[in-house]
């Protein structure tokens, strides 16, 4: 696996457009609103060779949020340029290297939309999320065990680490793992990595909330350090019963008001507020309501 700064751009010396492979871009129809319309607008004067991933699957009824797989003839294609200028730091999607056709790569991705938990329960994957594909296809994993299929390389943005990442399978010469009609069977390690993606997605949403609604909160400058701080804060919050992003957003608002970046700092600087939030005698929602009353009172006195 190789990586380089997100700010350096896609082709910064760490990665070059492959001469012996085709390059595709998978874009997330959830993160890119009205993706189909925007694709046609971006490529109005260019040929658009693309595949709607949800087509022909049980998710066809929600095709308005489907990922799109786009064949890229070169680095100048306007869809790629839109991704690089508008969506890399928002993790709109990722690049796929393959010698296979658009149809074959698209069909393989459709096989990975629904996988199976080790218990046999079906799970739908947010396949166009770079973190999800990185969890499913880790760098240097063997294609005989992990479903790389025709995918020979991934290039994806990691907005938390502020870097581009290039990953490849251990070998492209092995026979690929067979995927049954019921979906690829995950192992426990893969499940754990995919569950971490959900936590990561929640923390990135919390980061955006904090940047918008708590601008005076003195947090670390580096994105990775801010992420780690919020991860530690919310991990402790779970122990006090605050388990969802809405509650975390309210907690961050309180911490911002008190100019605290940890539970221990809150205990020292606002002991009454800390005691209110950490007592087990009331529900989390009741504690938050009381905490805001305490915080508002302290701001006016």
What are the domain boundaries of the chain? 2-186, 198-300
Question: Which residues have C-beta within 8 Å of that of residue 102, sequence separation ≥ 6?
Answer: 22, 24, 49, 50, 51, 69, 71
Look up the pTM and report it.
Answer: 0.91
pLDDT on residue 168? 95
pLDDT on residue 152? 95
Q: What CA–CA distance (Å, rounded) separates 64 from 161?
A: 30
Terminal C-alpha separation, the chain: 55
Blockwise average pLDDT, block size 10, the chain, 301 residues = 91 86 97 95 91 96 96 94 95 97 97 95 96 96 94 96 95 83 93 95 95 93 94 96 96 95 95 92 93 75 46
Q: What CA–CA distance (Å, rounded) separates 4 from 51?
A: 29
pLDDT on residue 297? 57
pLDDT on residue 240? 95
pLDDT on residue 301? 46
Query: Coil, helix or strand for 158?
Result: strand
């Amino acid at each position: 696996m190789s990586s380089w700064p997100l700010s350096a751009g896609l082709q910064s010396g760490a990665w070059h457009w492959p001469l012996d492979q085709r390059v595709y871009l998978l874009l997330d129809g959830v993160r890119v609103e009205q993706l189909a319309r925007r694709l046609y607008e971006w490529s109005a004067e260019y040929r658009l060779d693309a595949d709607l991933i949800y087509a022909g699957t049980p998710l066809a009824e929600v095709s308005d949020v489907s990922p799109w797989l786009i064949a890229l003839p070169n680095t100048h294609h306007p869809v790629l340029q839109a991704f690089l200028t508008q969506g890399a730091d928002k993790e709109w999607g990722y690049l796929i290297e393959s010698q296979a056709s658009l149809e074959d790569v698209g069909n393989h991705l459709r096989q990975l939309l629904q996988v199976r938990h080790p218990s046999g329960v079906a799970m739908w994957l947010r396949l166009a999320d770079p973190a999800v594909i990185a969890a499913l296809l880790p760098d240097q994993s063997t294609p005989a065990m992990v479903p790389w299929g025709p995918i020979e390389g991934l290039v994806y943005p990691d907005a938390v680490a502020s870097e581009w990442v290039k990953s490849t399978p251990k070998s492209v010469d092995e026979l690929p793992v067979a995927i049954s009609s019921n979906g690829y069977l995950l192992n426990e390690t893969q499940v754990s990595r995919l569950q971490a993606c959900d936590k990561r997605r929640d923390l990135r949403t919390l980061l955006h909330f904090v940047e918008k609604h708590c601008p005076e909160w003195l947090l670390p400058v580096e994105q990775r350090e801010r992420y780690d701080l919020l991860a530690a804060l919310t991990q402790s919050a779970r122990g006090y019963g605050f388990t969802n992003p809405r509650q975390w957003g309210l907690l961050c608002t309180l911490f911002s008001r008190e100019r605290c970046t940890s539970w221990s700092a809150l205990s020292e600087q606002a002991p009454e507020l800390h005691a209110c939030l950490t007592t087990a005698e009331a529900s989390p929602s009741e504690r938050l309501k009381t905490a805001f009353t305490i915080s508002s009172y302290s701001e006016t006195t």
